[in-house]
């Protein structure tokens, strides 16, 4: 039996490469809504879209009772804008991903997503990168959760529903490229594999004490051995 029953993959910087699409879409949405379009990408990377929009709206003085409808409006705008940009932009898969996923699919482990992205833009982005969304059976997403920890808890709960049983958190592996991926894995009691394919270097990731840290996902044999417990 493999060491892990569930693997939860982050998306941006882990499965698909960071590109100008998301910053461009976010800036356009904020500008069109009359909100400041300045973004500190390293600061917001790893957040959920819901979380980012709520912080921006609060900083802009939007009353608390108006936050929820305004967040949903911005989410819908972002969904449309990303769809427009994907039609004419490139979104490459991260190194090793296209070779690794078919091999993981052949062993008894279930793959899910743990991402700050809106659920509606996940499949289009994966498809654009040449990744079949069908590899991932469930997930925790950025339009339903205010923090990444909330998204991790949702992903684990959805994984248990999909498998029809309780899963010990120690049997869950989170794969991500940011310190926030490491922190949310710790929050749910999961193990974490950090990859330096995003905005953070291996040295920066190691400072947050992941269980494993790799340059990227190109060494499929090593990753399969990790999953199998060898």
- Can you give the residue ranges of every domain in the chain? 6-18+91-228, 21-86
Question: What pLDDT score does 36 carry?
Answer: 86
73 three-class SS: helix
196 vs 206: CA distance, rounded Å: 10
pLDDT band at 1 (very low <50, low <70, confident <90, very high): low
Evaluate if residue 13 carries a pLDDT over 90.
yes
Query: How far is 178 from 195, CA to CA, in rounded Å?
Result: 8
Q: State pLDDT tens for residues 56-68.
A: 999 999 999 999 9
Which contacts qualify for 70-74: CB closer than 8 Å, 24 or more apart? Answer: 73/33, 74/29, 74/30, 74/33
Mean pLDDT in the chain? 94
- If you average pLDDT over residues 138-143, what whole number do you get? 95
Decide if pLDDT at 116 tops 70: yes
Q: Where are the alpha helices (DSSP H) in the chain?
A: 21-32, 41-44, 49-59, 64-86, 97-104, 119-128, 148-163, 179-188, 202-206, 220-228
Q: What percent of the chain lies above the pLDDT cut of 90?
A: 87
pLDDT at 216: 97
Query: How many C-beta atoms surround the C-beta of residue 224 within 10 A?
Result: 17
> What is the model's pLDDT at position 40?
86
Dihedral pair phi/psi, residue 175, rounded to 5°: -115, 120
Residue 127, pLDDT > 70, answer yes
Q: What is the mean pLDDT of residues 202-226?
A: 96
**Residues facing residue 112 across a β-bridge:** 8
Dihedral, CA of residue 79, residue 85, residue 86 and residue 90, to nearest 10 = -140
CB 181 within 8 A of CB 151: no
Kindly tell me the number of DSSP H helices and DSSP E strands found in the chain: 10, 6
Does 92 have pLDDT greater than 90? yes
Q: Let me know if domain 6-18+91-228 sits in CATH 3.40.50.1000.
A: yes
Over residues 1-24, mean pLDDT: 90
Give the per-residue pLDDT at 82: 95
Cβ–Cβ < 8 Å for 224, 107: yes
For residue 144, name the pLDDT band (cuts at 50, 70, 90). confident
Query: Encoding tokens for residue 22?
Result: 């998301």
Calculate what percentage of the chain has a pLDDT beyond 70.
Answer: 99
pLDDT, one tens digit per residue, over 180-213 is 999 999 999 999 999 999 999 999 999 999 999 9
Phi and psi angles of residue 119, each rounded to the nearest 5 degrees, phi first: -60, -35
Average pLDDT over residues 13-36: 91
Q: Rounded distance, CA 18 to CA 2, Å?
A: 31
Mean pLDDT of 64-81: 95
- Check: CB of residue 78 under 8 Å from CB of residue 120: no
């Amino acid at each position: 039996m493999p060491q892990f029953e569930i693997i939860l993959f982050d998306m941006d910087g882990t499965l698909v490469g960071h590109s100008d699409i998301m910053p461009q879409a976010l800036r356009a949405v904020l500008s069109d809504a009359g909100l400041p379009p300045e973004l500190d990408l390293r600061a917001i990377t790893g957040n959920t879209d819901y979380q980012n929009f709520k912080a921006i709206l609060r900083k802009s003085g939007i009353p608390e009772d108006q936050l929820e409808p305004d967040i949903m409006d911005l989410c819908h705008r972002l969904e449309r804008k990303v769809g427009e940009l994907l039609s004419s932009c490139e979104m490459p898969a991260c190194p090793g991903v296209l070779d690794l996923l078919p091999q993981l699919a052949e062993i008894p482990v279930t793959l899910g997503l743990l991402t700050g992205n809106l659920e509606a833009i996940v499949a289009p982005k994966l498809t654009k990168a040449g990744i079949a969304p069908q590899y991932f059976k469930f997930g925790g997403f950025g339009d339903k959760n205010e923090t990444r920890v909330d998204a991790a808890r949702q992903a684990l709960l959805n994984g248990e529903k999909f498998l029809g049983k309780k899963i010990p958190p120690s049997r869950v592996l989170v794969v991500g490229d940011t310190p926030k991926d490491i922190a949310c894995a710790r929050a749910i009691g999961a193990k974490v594999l950090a990859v330096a394919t995003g905005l953070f270097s291996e040295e920066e990731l190691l400072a947050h004490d992941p269980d494993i840290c790799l340059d990227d996902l190109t060494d499929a044999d090593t990753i399969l051995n990790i999953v199998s417990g060898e």
